[in-house]
A and B are shown apart, each in its own frame.
Chain A
Amino acid sequence: MTTNLLDLPSLLRLSNLQLAARVIAEGALAGLHKAAHHGSSVEFAEHKEYAPGDDLRHIDWRAYGRVDKYYVKRFEEETELRAYLLVDVSGSMGYGRQHQITKLEYAKLLAASLSYLLLRQNDPAGLLLYGEDATSYIPPRGRGAHLGDLCRALTEAEPEGRSALASGLGFLSELLRRRGLVVVFSDLLPSPPTDLKQERHIGEYLQEQSQLLRARLCGLRAQKHDVIVLHLLDADELELPFTSLTWFEDTEPGPQGKTRLFVDPADVRNVYQQELQRFLGEMRRGLREGDVEYHLVPTSRSPESVLLDILRGPLRGRVRR
């Protein structure tokens, strides 16, 4: 789907998302607002020198006792949310069931919706489109017109090349100076090895690549960034619904071309799903152990529900009305 995301239907949809998000957010914010008034459930973020008009209840008297100056505590809800949206544009993200949305298109919707929510409240949002052959980085800005830049970049992105997400995360890790929010939109699938025929232990290779990815993501979290991973997978990848003898080929060909496998899906379905569940379970466990927020997002699910989950979860209290 290559429609302009800011076309009216998309915009209406996005607006619906904004409306839904606004309703959910305002409802959450209303709750948060009440909680925020009590100040007991909001996390301390930093000090600010007192200026007339600040809430006297937030004066840090200890600090005054130390430095004999008046400072006011600022909480998370009051700090600026600097978000970096990392979208995987490798070849595998271009897969979608026939006549259905591809994973990349889905990622674009989600990323645009989230950007809109952030930019509405003047929180800077940046975008990193990372693939083996293409990299596009838009630094975070908070002005309203920035949304257009982001949407434009998203619209122009095409899936190609082998996966390079680990490199992208490494790039981002070096890029970030201040604490921020990193949201990853990817299928987290490693590319096949360059010489598949020589690779005897595919399971071990998969584990190694997954471990590398998890290490990079957890590494970002260790740098005090908030990390959210939206693991996008198509229903075909989850269910393997094919029924007849089929030549399956990979979507990220290596130097020696595409790898093919002639198989009856019915023969391998059960075992394939065991392998898939093991892959997903290891990813989930590993990221959660690293305090990374992980969400498995089938593309058959509505983007709105995914945004709601995010707003209620990791961005709770961060997105204001």
Chain B
Amino acid sequence: MHFLAPLFAALTVLGVLPVLIHLHGRRRAKVQPLPTLLLLLASHRRVAQRTKLRHLLLLILRVLVMVAIPLCLAKPFVETRSDLPVQVGAAQSAVLVIDDSLSMNYRPEAETSPLSSSSLLSLAKRRAARLIEALPPGAEAALVLGSRGTNAPVPELTADRARLFSSISAVQPSYRSTDLHAALKRAAQILQTVRRSQRRIYLLTDAAAHAIDAALQPPPDIEVVVLDVTDEKPLPNRAVVGLHSDPAPSLGARAVRVTAEVANQGDMPVKELPVTLLVDGKPVAKGLLDLPARGHAIKRFVHIMQPQPVPAAPDEPGTTSTARPTDPTPALGGVNQSSGLHHVSVALKPDALPEDDQRHLRLEVQRYLRVLILDGDPRNLRRDDEAFYLEMALRPSEREEASFAITTQPLDEGISGLADYDAVFLVNAKAADIERKQLARSLRDYVEGGGGLFITLGDNVDVDAYNTALAELLPQPLAVIKTTGPVRRVGSDPEPDSGETTQTGAGEHLGHLEKRHPLLLPFSSGRSVESLHEARFGRYLLLKPTPRTSGESADIVLSYESGAPALLDRALGRGHVLLFTSSIDRDWNNLPIQPAFLPLMQQAVRYLAHSPLRDTEPPTLIGQPREVRLQAGDTRVEVTLPSGKTRLFERLGGRQVLTFVDTIEPGFYRVAASGEGGVLRPRSTESFVVNIDPAETDMQRAPAARIAALQRPISDGTLTTHSGQAPTRRVDLWHYLGALLLALLVGEALLLRQK
């Protein structure tokens, strides 16, 4: 402690005065004879204890008063190390950049003081407020946030301290990732309007390596001061950084394996960290995990999902009968259990940054689907059978329990019970067989009732006979066979010198893929798309260009390079008809031997069966927009965020996609849609998950050299940040002593009044 007027401090010895007065007074008190001394004694005994205590308290108070008075006059103060930079005292224009990204939610004292610990963002806000207080009169400041996609709370320089304090106080924690590049750029734009020589950016951040990357450069002619709110302390953190699921067919059709990748950002290994698997918000499995220091570990769970049967979907008022039915039952907790869609998450025991201790996944459970293959060209040699490759695609391994129950039947056998099947394949059928069996009528009724029909063509197809027999089913009438490359005869591969081929070229590839069609969701990117394009088509049917005029249109899902349709989708009643204009075996194309064939066929079955489609969920991170597919007739869409808040979008008629940008929370987002005047119904196929950016979980500090490079001095040679002694701050104590003195005097007065 120091004193501004130390001589007065010596007078604190006056504190012994009250004691001396008390002792002296006792000796010098006058003697008074009193005949009623007995009465006085009796009275004194009644109040002696209380009186003694009061006198003692009075003596203590008086001693303290006698000590406090000279101390106040001596004006004591202490000096503390200030956490503000030395530059803050100079006249300047400043922009404060407060990093409000996810990593700033870290609570350094969470382990020891879970209830009272402050987050790094709280510390940054307090320091920003003190920085504003410390700016000299006349200095101007602005405020910018450091997370991705945010606006500046105070986008222009101002001397209005109240506004700055209010804006600082209003900064809220977020899940967003850091974008200091944009923040520094924005700050530089604000300072460009100023002519003052001292222009500074104060960056209040956790100085994490993911935030201050090597590419981050200070703006020219502007000094950047980095205020590390962590005080360079290590920040251990654990996080779930990856999550995906795979089927576990060895344990059943509905068994899934959930794999979580957990990272340990601390220097100490972690033993037996509790990990919990949640399905639809309920914990279903728990485990323990050991994590190495600064390492990753994998935790796997296997869980058997329990979907419910799908009831019949009622027609929605106001929609046409060709519209694809929406989910038949209301969602339960945002998830349609009847369709097998689930919200899966993996959670760790919360630590100092609990927001990254959970990750989410949207999981679809496949129904057990029954498929009927009507084989129009059965062969003794299975390999030559028209349906061979199709069967292999739908049942890849005999050892595994299949998700599809396949019944293959030649067309010349009796056919009954179409309604028992979820999808029917009519492969290379002869028109005569179709007419003899009156199959067209049955198939039409089947499709209109909600079934799915997949028609493939081949050598047995007679164009005119087909157009007659399947007039009510075909999306478009057939026109003419086109041969563009080698075709295979049965039992042999095409030989160049055999004379049996009608090769007119190398064959044609697929051209346009309608990726928005549900069938092609697995083919959004990567190897699957390439393998589709690698398929070569030697022969296919051209279709008559005239669309049907009955009001039912067909969607072209796949096209050839020439633009001719390869795969069409026609909605008929409550079902769909898919027409593949080539063969399903290797006679006319080599699609069956492409990797894309299996997922395409399985996806087609699920689509026709109205089963939830297994899509490779494209990851959506916080702040990234999400496309929500709309159906024909959708005019209103409501998106419910994980916290329960909703966003309603109206007047969407005619649009096919809604771009949703409010991905501000991690978790499961539910979608509901309706037509004009209709009731919002859940659209669980469009539900999606949003996760935090895993980069924000790494709390490792950026290298000192990188931070120093960011804080390079400006060109006029003004003082840099790290020169000289650490700044100190004087804290006057005599104000507090004065208040204490006042309290002591009031206390003495109250005690005296008690007499």
A interface list, Cβ under 8 A from B: 91-92, 95, 187, 189-190, 192, 196, 202-203, 205-206, 234, 236-237, 240, 242, 244-252, 259-264, 266-268, 271-272, 274-276, 279
Contacts and interface: CB of A to CB of B under 8 A. Distances in A.
Contact of B41 (A190, A196, A264): A196
A203 B45 CA distance: 10
Contact of A267 (B29, B31, B47): B47
Nearest to B755: A266
A74 to B, nearest CB: 44
Contact of B44 (A206, A247, A268, A274): A268
Nearest to B29: A245
Contacts of B35: 91-92, 95, 187, 189, 234, 237, 250-252
A250 B39 contact: no
Contacts of B42: 202-203, 206, 275
A201 B580 CA distance: 118
Contacts of B47: 267-268, 271
Contact of B38 (A206, A236, A266): A206
A210 to B, nearest CB: 11
A245 B39 contact: no
B648 interface: no
Contact of B31 (A205, A234, A249, A279): A249
B38 A248 contact: no
Contact of A268 (B29, B32, B38, B43): B43
Contacts of A242: 32
A274 B33 contact: no
Interface in B22-52: 25-26, 29-47, 51
Contact of A248 (B25, B34, B54): B34
B26 A263 contact: no
Given A263-B44, A268-B47, A271-B47, A249 B34 contact: yes
A234 to B, nearest CB: 8
Nearest to B52: A267
A236 B34 CA distance: 8
Interface of B: 25-26, 29-47, 51, 54-55, 755
A51 to B, nearest CB: 54
Nearest to B35: A92
B440 to A, nearest CB: 117
Given A203-B42, A271-B47, A274-B43, A244 B29 contact: yes
A261 B46 CA distance: 14
B100 to A, nearest CB: 64
Contacts of B41: 196, 202, 259, 261
Given A205-B38, A259-B37, A246 B43 contact: no
Given A206-B39, A264-B51, 6 more contacts: A91-B35, A252-B35, A268-B40, A268-B44, A272-B39, A275-B42
Contacts of A92: 35
What does DSSP make chain B's interface, helix, strand, loop or mixed? Answer: helix
A248 B40 contact: yes
Contact of A276 (B32, B39, B55): B39
6 contacts: A206-B39, A246-B31, A246-B32, A250-B38, A272-B43, A275-B39
A264 B58 CA distance: 14
Nearest to A236: B34
Nearest to A91: B35
Given A266-B755, A267-B755, A250 B43 contact: no
A31 B158 CA distance: 106
Contacts of B36: 189, 237, 272, 276
Given A245-B29, A267-B755, A268-B44, A202 B34 contact: no
Nearest to B42: A202
A192 B37 contact: yes
B36 to A, nearest CB: 5
Nearest to B28: A245
Contact of A202 (B38, B51, B54): B38
Contacts of A246: 29-32
A203 B498 CA distance: 142
Contacts of A236: 34
Contacts of A247: 29-32
A252 B54 CA distance: 32
Closest 6 CB pairs of A and B: A92-B35, A250-B37, A272-B43, A271-B43, A202-B42, A247-B31
A234 B35 CA distance: 9
Nearest to A191: B38
A245 B31 CA distance: 9
Contacts of B26: 245, 262
A248 B38 CA distance: 11
Contacts of A263: 40, 44
Nearest to A206: B38
Contacts of B46: 271
A248 B39 contact: no
A281 B446 CA distance: 116
B203 to A, nearest CB: 67
Nearest to B41: A202
Given A92-B35, A248-B34, A266-B755, A261 B29 contact: no
B32 to A, nearest CB: 5
A237 B43 contact: no
Contact of B33 (A95, A268, A275, A279): A95
A275 B37 CA distance: 12
Nearest to B754: A267
Contacts of B38: 189-190, 192, 202, 205-206, 250
A234 B47 CA distance: 25
B44 A249 contact: no
A247 B26 CA distance: 9
A249 B43 contact: no
Contacts of A274: 43
Max chain A CB contacts within 10 Å: which of B30, B34, B38? B38
A265 to B, nearest CB: 9
A192 B40 CA distance: 11
A205 B29 CA distance: 29
A234 B51 CA distance: 27
A187 B31 CA distance: 22
A244 B30 contact: yes
A181 B109 CA distance: 95
A57 B193 CA distance: 136
A245 B25 contact: yes
Contacts of B29: 244-247, 262
B45 A202 contact: yes
A4 to B, nearest CB: 26
Nearest to A260: B31
Contacts of A248: 31-34, 37, 40
Contacts of A267: 47, 51, 54, 755
A76 B41 CA distance: 47
A248 B25 CA distance: 15
A266 B51 CA distance: 10
